[in-house]
Every structure is written in structure tokens, then in C-alpha cells.
Amino acid sequence: MIEREILLEKMKTSPYKPMRGKIIQAYMLTEKEKFFRIELENKINLGHEPGQFVMVSLFGYGEAPISICSSPTDKGYFELTVRNVGLLTNALHKLGKGDIVGIRGPFGKGFPIDNMFGYDVMIVAGGLGIVPLRSLIRYIMHNRNDFGNVQILLGCRTPKELLFKDETKEWMKRAEIKLNCTVDRADEEWQGNVGLITTLIPGVDINPARTYCVIVGPPIMYRFVIAEVLKKSIPDHQIIVSLERRMKCGLGKCGHCQIEGVYVCQSGPVFNYAQLKNFKGECHEKAA
């Protein structure tokens, strides 16, 4: 108990100092993405909210923001999905069970769960956007009676790039959840919908006044998905998006993630559309 209190105190007073995270499970999800389950010292809980991120570091390679893909209800560990896109992520992909990484966080504001209680939830995930949204989906699954109807729209470029395939199949089997999946380009085995994720939105039946729509995906997706969602008459403050904007420290100190004086790592990465549309330029196309 004393050791746990000391560690918690270090987390409060030393936000710049990484905690030791031990990899207890690791495997490839696709050719580019690797899944990690990580345990902190003394198996304390990370204490995150769905939609938050951590800064992951590896000595000699640097540090990067990574979205958390597990639910806060998953106790004793947390989970990350890492795409191999550079020096640090390539090094992370070479790690396995028993290896140690540095963890700072969690950082940022997550999805507004408290405001979503009792509402229907429409989730729109494009490509890697399913990673932070998995945290929200799993949280809703574990607290199913706190939410209304749940609809998940999932899209990716090709079937082989679909993340969490086995889990997605389980979601589709649940009677109280509606899930539609589409790919931009099908292969010979694909039997589902083919087309952009925006083609799924017109067919969704919702009550706009009691629906929260949560959207995460690649930059190009935001403008077109939001335009389709607005046609459903969902209020601006009930349209939720997550941004990524060159986050480097997670503490609002370095300034890399600023949008007109707003620090995405602190005020975001989650924003509602009422906030987002006041930003000038193309900042709303910086997706997580």
C-alpha cells in the first residue's frame, strides 16, 4: 500500500518522469499495426478516460503520443495499438512480452461520457480511428444500461487493414448493437459493403435530439463525414471528434499542438463540433 501511494505521488509531482510499463502481451493485428497490453509498476490502474492518450518512450529512440484503446473498466493493465510509421514505432514493433517502455500520462480530455449517459450513441470510425474508439465501445459494453441505442459505422481501405477483426465479429453478434462495415476496395473474400464510410450514414435511423455522434478517422474523412452527420440534424455540441496536432509533451508546454492559442493536448484531443467550427483554416482535418 505504501509503495502504491509513493508511485501515485510521483505521478502527481513529476509529470515529466515516465513510469515503467511492462509489456505483458504483444501481437500483430495487421501488417502495420501491433497490439500491446501493458502493466504499470505494482499493477496500478492507469486511470484514463476513453479518448485520452499516453506518451510512450523508449530509451535512445524518443517519445510519441499513442491513443489508449482499452476501457477504464479493464483493470490492472491498459492497451495500445501502434502503427509502424517511423523510428520510434519501428523500435516498438520489435518489442515483446517482458520488455519495458516508458509511460507518461494519461493526458488530454476524453469523450464526454457523463454527458452521454442515457443518450443513443452513433460511432463513426475510419481506419486507425477505431483505436481510441475501441476504448469508448468497450466502456459502453461494460456499462450497457447507462446508454441507449448504439450504432457503429466502421470503414477502412481494404479488408486486410481492418483492426480488431475478431472483436468486431463479436460486436456484430450482439442484438442491442447495430454495426455496419465498409471497405474502399474489396478482395475476393469480402462479402460486405464496398464504398466510402459516408455511404453508410444516410441509411442510419436516429433520433437526433437524443443522439451523440462520435467521429474519429483520417484527416480527409472529417469534412465529409461531418457534412453527412449534420444532415441528420444532430446538434453541433453532440457531434464529437478527436484531433491530433503534432503533440510532443502532453503538458501544454512545448506549443507544437496549438490551434489559435488552444493546446490540443490539454483542451483536447476531444472536441465537439460547436468548438471545432470556430477554428479557422483546416485544423479540423487533423485527425487522431
Give the model confidence (pLDDT) of 237-276 as tens digits. Answer: 999 999 876 676 676 666 666 676 676 767 668 999 998 8
Which among 178, 120, 175 has a CA at the least distance from the CA of 149? 120
pLDDT at 12 (0 to 100): 53
Is 223 found in the same domain as 96?
Answer: no
Confidence of residue 109 (pLDDT cuts 50, 70, 90): very high
pLDDT at 256 (0 to 100): 67
- At which residue does the C-alpha cell 484503446 appear? 69
Checking if the pLDDT of 288 tops 70, the result is no
Domain hosting 232: range is 113-285
Which CATH number characterizes residue 89's domain?
Answer: 2.40.30.10
CA 74 vs CA 57, 90, 167: distances in Å: 23, 27, 15
Cα separation, 132 vs 52, in Å, equals 8
Is 242 found in the same domain as 276?
Answer: yes
Question: Of all helices (H) and strands (E), which one includes residue 222?
Answer: helix 219-230
Task: Quickly count: other Cβ atoms within 10 Å of residue 21's Cβ.
Answer: 24
Is 199 found in the same domain as 180?
Answer: yes
Looking at 81-85, 117-121, 199-203, 241-245, which range is the least confident one?
241-245
Give the model confidence (pLDDT) of 36-45 as tens digits. Answer: 999 998 788 8
Please count the structural domains in the chain: 2
Long-range CB pairs of 3-6 (<8 Å, 24+ gap) are: 3/42, 4/42, 4/44
Q: Are strands 177-183 and 150-156 parallel, antiparallel or unpaired?
A: parallel
DSSP assigned state of 55:
E
Checking if the pLDDT of 216 tops 60, the result is yes
Is 187 found in the same domain as 46?
Answer: no
- Three-class SS of residue 108? coil
